[in-house]
Amino acid sequence: MKGETMQESPVSGKNVPMADIFRWIEELNHIGAALSAERDIGMLLETILLAAMKIVNADGGTLYRVIDGKWIRFETLRTDSLGIAMGGTTGKEITFPLIPLYKDNGEPNDSLVVAHAVLGGSTINIRDVYQEKGFDFSGTRKFDEMTGYRSRSFLTVPMRNHEQEIIGVLQLINARDRETGEIVGFSDVDQSFAESLASQAAIALTNRQLIIQMEELFESFINVINNAIDNKSPHTGKHLQRVPVLTMMLAEAANATTDGPLKDFSMTDRDRMELRLAGLLHDCGKIVTPVHVMEKSTKLETIFDRIHCVEAKFAVLRRDAEIAYLNGVIASPERKPELERDYRAALAQLEEDLEFLNKCNMGGEFMSDADVARVKELAVRHKVDGENLLSDDEIENLTIRRGTLTAAERQIINGHIDVTIDMLETLPWPNRLKNVPEYAGGHHEKMDGTGYPKGLKRDEMSIQARMMGIADIFEALTARDRPYKQGKTLSESLAILGKFCLDNHIDPDLFDVFISRGVYLDYANQFMSPEQIDEVDHSKIPGYRM
């Protein structure tokens, strides 16, 4: 155009309007920023192709990826004039077969222009495929015959990353004159900018793949830790799998809430990943917890269940009773009926006492004062070789009020959260995952500040940590694989959870969402046995406000 400033092309040496140069540079800068920000691979590939088509004003194009250095795969394609859009985010699967880089005999498959660009590592710019010699365009001609399309100009650009590896191919079809719309060949400037874009795109794609691979590696490492804990305790291992699932169920329910106290709570995909990782890691400190404590299924269990030692002592008591009876009969034959009656009564009492101690050994939700007193009385009433029936340690264990752990063992178990926090806080978390230690480390805190390890109150905790607390408790209540108890029914579990809410131990807003959105039922259908899933009357759940 007359009077317009011109600039020499870096490729051909021909003069190009400066306005076009500035427009292309502006497009490249904009596209580069967009590529760097895009996280989804499908969207990224689609963005690359659409950006390339726009910058050179192409009617169509295809983006391919190189697979294992042996194949080329269609990822996304477009033909504007035909309204064709496949792959990427379109939801339309590309069913074309993979393109081999090498023939069956091992020779390069360089008759296909896409394969040739990969194998040769250079751009191929064809002005008219029907006039081009040396390449096999039979597939293109067949496509044209079927659609009435007229393929003409092709620009095929290998995508080379920062390590100079070719990871894909950008192929553009039918350049259009910006003023007339006529199909023309791709200019040298088009080629130059397409190559620049392909280079940016290859680096963006490689970076995204590396990030994904690092995330997968990190998650695999987490699973290695959890598997190690699972091998120590299969019961705890299932807990490590289920709590993250339930946490995310509750998080999604809160995210979908449009009214009430949680109406402003929302999550991005990054938030979801951060919370899910925290769920997977929330008990990683149990890797140092002794197996005999984690697996303590009865009160007297250590490496073995010491109730068998108590049973052996009762065998001695029965023997002593029999000896006493026989000695009495020898000394006073006339008293045999009386002595036998007393002997039978003594045996019956021993059996009753042993049965009681066996029952105490199994643990439970509550042990009465009367039962505690009876254990202590039996410990001194019966003597074996002049010693009390039960040692102080056995008395301590058999009089555990709830569950099977002594105070010292409970402290060992509780200590896993300190180890968890120490482990997680030593890791160099990126900014987008910086909250993982807080989320994972807060699931034993309570809203009133009576939890552990830091005694945090509700306002000092994130919503995510409070979610994990509810998930941790509900999973424990319903779990069927604990060594010390049976899994509770749905109604029983919700009643107990509701009491925790009334006692200000769990977040009431999240508890309401847990019930109203049916999170408990979704979880039950996935993880609980049918006999545990009973009818739930919302009006009878303590602490539920809706």
Q: Print the SS3 string covering 77-145.
A: EEEHHHCEEEECCCCCCCCCCCEECECCCCCECCCCHHHHHHHHCCCEEECCCCCCCCCCCHHHHHHHH
The C-alpha atoms of residue 122 and residue 141 are separated, in whole angstroms, by 24
Which tens digits make up the pLDDT trace of 198-225?
887 788 788 777 877 888 888 888 888 8
Q: Is 541 strand, coil or helix? A: coil
Which amino acid makes up residue 368?
S
The C-alpha atoms of residue 77 and residue 94 are separated, in whole angstroms, by 9
Angle between helices 463-478 and 508-516 (to 10 degrees): 60
H helical segments located in 286-429: 291-294, 307-331, 336-361, 369-381, 392-398, 407-425
128: closest CA among 118, 141, 115, 119? 141
Angle between helices 188-232 and 18-37 (to 10 degrees): 10
Q: What is the DSSP letter of 225?
A: H
The upper half-sphere exposure of residue 465, i.e. CA atoms within 13 Å in the direction of its Cβ, equals 24
Q: What is the DSSP letter of 133?
A: -
The C-alpha atoms of residue 78 and residue 62 are separated, in whole angstroms, by 6
The C-alpha atoms of residue 472 and residue 546 are separated, in whole angstroms, by 23
**Residues linked to residue 7 through DSSP beta bridges, in sequence order:** 16
Q: What is the largest CA-CA distance in the chain?
A: 142
**Residues linked to residue 131 through DSSP beta bridges, in sequence order:** none
**Using an 8 Å Cβ cutoff, are 135 and 113 in contact?**
yes
The C-alpha atoms of residue 501 and residue 495 are separated, in whole angstroms, by 10
The C-alpha atoms of residue 126 and residue 62 are separated, in whole angstroms, by 15
The C-alpha atoms of residue 154 and residue 186 are separated, in whole angstroms, by 7
The C-alpha atoms of residue 41 and residue 144 are separated, in whole angstroms, by 30
254: closest CA among 516, 510, 520, 56? 510
pTM for the complete prediction? 0.69
Give the per-residue pLDDT at 455.
95
Q: Which residues contact 252 (CB under 8 A, 6 or more apart)?
A: 267
Query: Domains in the chain and their CATH numbers?
Result: 6-210 (3.30.450.40), 233-290+409-540 (1.10.3210.10), 307-403 (no CATH)
Show the tokens assigned to 476.
């424990």
Distance of CA 44 to the CA centre of its chain: 24
Give the per-residue pLDDT at 186.
94
Which amino acid makes up residue 64?
Y
269: closest CA among 248, 284, 283? 248
307: closest CA among 402, 373, 387, 398? 398
Which tens digits make up the pLDDT trace of 284-332?
888 888 888 877 888 999 888 999 999 999 999 999 999 999 999 999 9
**pLDDT, block means (10 residues), the chain with 546 residues:** 46 50 62 60 81 90 93 94 92 91 92 94 94 90 93 94 88 92 91 86 79 84 80 71 95 95 94 94 87 84 91 95 95 94 96 96 88 96 93 95 89 88 91 93 95 94 97 92 74 95 96 96 95 94 89
